[in-house]
Chains A and B, each alone.
Chain A
Amino acid sequence: MTTAERTEAEHDTGRGAGLTPLTPLTPLAVPATRAEGCPFDPAPGVERARREEPVTRATLWDGSTCWLVTRHQDVREVLGDPRFSADATRPGFPFLTAGGRELATVKPTFIRQDDPEHARLRRMLTAEFMVKKVEAMRPEVQRLADGLLDRMTAGRDSADLVAEFALPLPSLVICLLLGVPYDDHKFFQERSGLLLSLRSTAEEVRTAQEDLRRYLTRLAESKRRDPDDGIISRLVARGELDDEEVSSMGRLLLIAGHETTANMTALSTLALLRNPDQLKRLRADPSLVKGAVEELLRYLTIIHNGLPRVATEDVTIGGRTIRAGEGVLCTLNSANRDDGVFPGGDALDVGRDARRHIAFGFGVHQCLGQPLARVELQIAVETLLRRLPGLRLAIPFEDVRFRHDMGIYGVHALPVAW
């Protein structure tokens, strides 16, 4: 039995919390298991914590403990407060997996650093993802989306939407932006999957990480000799980073650019198919697409196990004192269902003003690529609905394999017909 399976088995007691009162509430085991039949909803234990004890103790896979912060306002406070560190080398930092702990031993990227170093490195990339620049990419993203759908639908009436559309679209876009050859996509998608799987062993993570490091370092070297107009070339040309540093930044962007949008696209499609009234509204009024994408981001919140931080001083959050050196997990999915901010938040409502969602995180680490993710998702959803008016699930909903085992939630495959 793998660690993840063992953890799941131990967490089975959390199921059906809505029917049977369970006491005591704490400590909650995380990652917590979602309830059978409710794959779009956060785990019942986490939902219950938000209602009854919003800042609560949790037990991690390795037996260590941390705080779980579950409400919208409290999560924003933690992620916006520099007294909570993102530095995984600090004692007390909460790891969700053995692989995560393994990754903390290699030189970190800015996602696991604090200011001022974080800001210095992040600012080398902010211009690449600014709204105007990304908006200018719409025609190119649209062309890629149409090309993928042309191929997917040619002479066929069914396909796996993940393999043929949801994954290749953001993959093609991030490869183009970075200057990474898309032909290598199998190589880095497999490694990226291992890095993000909750089931990977420390050894698998170490090997995948080393493969990617070597691949991107070689790529950085080649861009130094033969530059193009991609981000990797521009980072090399700045002269502030060595090839190894360019490599780790490239790795971060490559992984982040793949898995997030791919899973949001597939899961959004499935959520709309499961909510036919919302799908009908969206088809009837395509001007709702921008707002619908924000609502889907809120409702689905694919970073499903929470963002880790560690307190560097004693801080009071939601009436609880978190001591210096104690770990905190901010559950974004639970915060995005907070009724106080999103009334009736457990329902998908494509007409809702969901802009205050924190699906991209919050604070100075908030997703750098969010303007790109928005453009990709808006185009993906609009194009799919417009071009495939008969889109439907090709297997029973019960047979869809959800990514309970991955740090980024979604579906492993989505067989659809049209």
Chain B
Amino acid sequence: MRVHIDQEKCCGAGSCVLSAPEVFDQREEDGIVVLLDAEPPAGLHDAVHEAVAICPAAAISVEQADRAGRV
């Protein structure tokens, strides 16, 4: 899995940080999303999918790995 964020779209609601704090954080100065881990381990994939689903501004997207594990 590869995670992408769009800081322009982000509205700073912070729901991604609650879903997957290992993957997402917020910038100190303006609360905009920061990506901590662009290729999170499998154990975090559900949490990242949840973050994508609940992001109000559609600022997070993921690319899925193919069968060989490449993104």
Give residues in A with beta carbon < 8 Å to B.
79-80, 119, 122-123, 126-132, 355-356, 360-368, 370-371, 374
Q: Which of B13, B19, B25, B54 contacts A368 (CB 8 A)?
A: B13
Question: A362 near B56 (CB under 8 angstroms)?
Answer: yes
Question: A366 near B56 (CB under 8 angstroms)?
Answer: yes
CB pairs A–B below 8 angstroms (29 shown): A80-B57, A119-B11, A123-B30, A126-B26, A126-B30, A126-B32, A127-B27, A127-B28, A127-B30, A128-B31, A129-B12, A129-B14, A129-B31, A131-B14, A131-B17, A132-B26, A355-B19, A355-B50, A356-B54, A360-B13, A362-B56, A363-B57, A364-B11, A366-B13, A366-B56, A367-B13, A370-B15, A371-B14, A374-B18
Q: Within the assembled complex, what's the spacing in Å between the Cα atoms of A355 and B55?
A: 11
List 5 tightest A-B contacts by C-beta distance, closest first. Answer: A126-B12, A126-B31, A366-B56, A130-B31, A130-B26
Q: Say how far A71's CB is from chain B's closest CB, in angstroms.
A: 16
Chain B 24-71 interface residues, beta-carbon cutoff 8 Å to A: 25-32, 50, 53-54, 56-58
Q: Which residue of A lies closest to B13 (CB)?
A: A366
Q: Within the assembled complex, what's the spacing in Å between the Cα atoms of A407 and B2?
A: 42
Q: Within the assembled complex, what's the spacing in Å between the Cα atoms of A360 and B26?
A: 19
B17: which A residues are within 8 A, CB to CB?
130-132
Residues 5-23 of chain B: 1 if any A CB is under 8 Å from the residue's CB, otherwise 0?
0000101111101110000
Q: Which residue of B lies closest to A76 (CB)?
A: B56
Q: Given contacts A123-B30, A127-B30, A363-B57, is CB(A368)–CB(B12) below 8 Å?
A: yes
Question: B58 near A80 (CB under 8 angstroms)?
Answer: yes
Q: Which residue of B lies closest to A132 (CB)?
A: B26
Q: Within the assembled complex, what's the spacing in Å between the Cα atoms of A122 and B31?
A: 11
A127: which B residues are within 8 A, CB to CB?
12, 27-31
User: For chains A and B in complex, what number of residue pairs have CB atoms within 8 angstroms?
Assistant: 70
Q: Say how far B51's CB is from chain A's closest CB, in angstroms.
A: 10
A367: which B residues are within 8 A, CB to CB?
13
Q: Say how far A103's CB is from chain B's closest CB, in angstroms.
A: 23
Q: Say how far A290's CB is from chain B's closest CB, in angstroms.
A: 9
Give residues in B with beta carbon < 8 Å to A.
9, 11-15, 17-19, 25-32, 50, 53-54, 56-58
A130: which B residues are within 8 A, CB to CB?
12, 14, 17, 26, 28, 31
Question: B14 near A122 (CB under 8 angstroms)?
Answer: no
Q: Within the assembled complex, what's the spacing in Å between the Cα atoms of A132 and B26?
A: 8
Question: B19 near A122 (CB under 8 angstroms)?
Answer: no
Q: Which of B18, B31, B56 contacts A80 (CB 8 A)?
A: B56
Q: Given contacts A123-B30, A355-B19, is CB(A364)–CB(B57) below 8 Å?
A: yes
Q: Given contacts A119-B11, A129-B14, A131-B18, is CB(A356)–CB(B32) below 8 Å?
A: no
B50: which A residues are within 8 A, CB to CB?
355
Q: Within the assembled complex, what's the spacing in Å between the Cα atoms of A418 and B22?
A: 41
Question: B56 near A363 (CB under 8 angstroms)?
Answer: yes
Additional pairs, 14, CB under 8 Å, beyond known A123-B12, A366-B13, A368-B12? A126-B32, A127-B12, A127-B29, A127-B30, A130-B12, A130-B17, A132-B17, A132-B25, A355-B50, A356-B54, A360-B13, A361-B56, A366-B57, A370-B13
Q: Within the assembled complex, what's the spacing in Å between the Cα atoms of A307 and B11?
A: 18
Q: Given contacts A80-B56, A123-B30, A130-B26, is CB(A366)–CB(B18) below 8 Å?
A: no
Question: A356 near B31 (CB under 8 angstroms)?
Answer: no
Question: A371 near B18 (CB under 8 angstroms)?
Answer: yes
A364: which B residues are within 8 A, CB to CB?
9, 11, 56-57
B53: which A residues are within 8 A, CB to CB?
356
B27: which A residues are within 8 A, CB to CB?
127
A126: which B residues are within 8 A, CB to CB?
11-12, 26, 30-32
Q: Within the assembled complex, what's the spacing in Å between the Cα atoms of A367 and B12?
A: 10
Q: Say how far B50's CB is from chain A's closest CB, in angstroms.
A: 6
B58: which A residues are within 8 A, CB to CB?
80
Q: Which residue of B lies closest to A369 (CB)?
A: B13
Q: Which residue of B lies closest to A290 (CB)?
A: B18
Q: Say how far A266's CB is from chain B's closest CB, in angstroms.
A: 24
Q: Which residue of A lies closest to B25 (CB)?
A: A132
Question: A131 near B11 (CB under 8 angstroms)?
Answer: no
B9: which A residues are within 8 A, CB to CB?
364
Q: Within the assembled complex, what's the spacing in Å between the Cα atoms of A409 and B55?
A: 25
B28: which A residues are within 8 A, CB to CB?
127, 130
Q: Within the assembled complex, what's the spacing in Å between the Cα atoms of A371 and B57?
A: 16
Q: Which residue of B lies closest to A124 (CB)?
A: B30
Q: Within the assembled complex, what's the spacing in Å between the Cα atoms of A43 and B12?
A: 32
B26: which A residues are within 8 A, CB to CB?
126, 130-132
